[in-house]
Homo-oligomer: A and B are copies of this chain.
Amino acid sequence: MTLPKRRGRNISDVHESDRPLVTVDIIIFTVRDSDLQVLLVKRNVLPFKDCWALPGGFVRMNESLEDAAKRELMEETGVHDVYLEQLYTFGEPARDPRTRVITVAYFALISSEKLTLKAATDVSAVGWFAIKKLPQLAFDHDKILAYAVKRLRWKLEYTNIVYSLLPDKFTLTNLQNVYEIIIDRQFDKRNFRKKLLSLGLLKDTKEMTQDVSHRPAKLYSFKKRSLEIRAVL
């Protein structure tokens, strides 16, 4: 008994016209105005001209996939040093009507704080959209986005990733709001605070909110702003 002949194992077997294109698309999430929002760009070329799409572009020959994603992120938001992780690779042969395009999707999380500092997103055809009120999207971007939301919800429950969506200092109410907005469920205030404080992830900054017309709240910060995998909720 012999093994089936292996085709395509040798690099010289692959003609240039047989090479698919590779892009990265990036799902940039933030929490703004009590909504989970995503950054979309309006296409100005065919196909799907004038349709909203995830920001993305071709991977250059000498950059890694992550570098390509970072470049796109920088181009769209002017922000760097945000949370970024590879999501999934979508490669159905017909997902782009022009030719075979395989896209590696990344997702990024940006705190609303960084946004108000740097975003120039009102200019031109770039915009933030609430997940619950999305326009029609180009290609299979609705599918990609749905998958990203699933991953984000999971990460929020099972890691400390929420740090990437909050400013350096925040109140426990801020924190709870982010959870409630993204997971789309209400939590009991006492249980939520008890749980989060017991995890030992937070540091009391000894500061209080200023200029509020009611009782001020304690400000907390994260001891570590790096990913840890452990159940949070």
Alpha-carbon gap, A2 to B122, bound state (A)? 10
Alpha-carbon gap, A11 to B75, bound state (A)? 19
Contact present for B75 and A3 (CB under 8 Å): yes
Q: Which residues of B contact A214 (CB under 8 A)?
A: none
A188 contacts the other chain (CB 8 A): no
B3, B57, B120, B123: the one contacting A120 at CB < 8 Å is B3
Q: Which residues of B contact A98 (CB under 8 A)?
A: 11
Contact present for A91 and B75 (CB under 8 Å): no
Contact present for A64 and B93 (CB under 8 Å): yes
Q: Which residues of B contact A92 (CB under 8 A)?
A: 64
A22, A57, A98 pick with most chain B CB within 10 angstroms: A22
Alpha-carbon gap, A17 to B17, bound state (A)? 10
Contact present for B20 and A100 (CB under 8 Å): no
A174 CB → nearest B CB, Å = 29
Complex copy number for this chain: 2
Contact present for B9 and A57 (CB under 8 Å): yes
Interface of chain A: mostly helix, strand, loop or mixed: loop
Contact present for A2 and B59 (CB under 8 Å): no
Interface 1/0s, chain A 1-31, versus B by CB < 8 A?
Answer: 1111011111101101111111000000000
A133 CB → nearest B CB, Å = 23
Alpha-carbon gap, A16 to B58, bound state (A)? 13
Contact present for A14 and B58 (CB under 8 Å): yes
**Chain A residues numbered 60-114 whose CB sits less than 8 Å from any CB in chain B:** 60-65, 75-76, 86, 88-89, 91-93, 98-100, 102, 104
Could you list some 27 contacts between A and B, CB below 8 A? A1-B123, A2-B124, A3-B123, A8-B57, A8-B58, A8-B60, A11-B21, A14-B58, A16-B19, A18-B58, A18-B60, A19-B19, A19-B22, A20-B22, A20-B59, A20-B61, A22-B22, A22-B91, A22-B102, A59-B102, A63-B93, A64-B92, A64-B93, A65-B91, A86-B89, A89-B104, A91-B104
Further pairs besides A1-B123, A8-B58: 14, Cβ < 8 Å: A3-B75, A4-B75, A6-B57, A9-B45, A9-B57, A10-B45, A18-B61, A20-B61, A59-B91, A61-B100, A63-B93, A64-B93, A86-B88, A89-B104
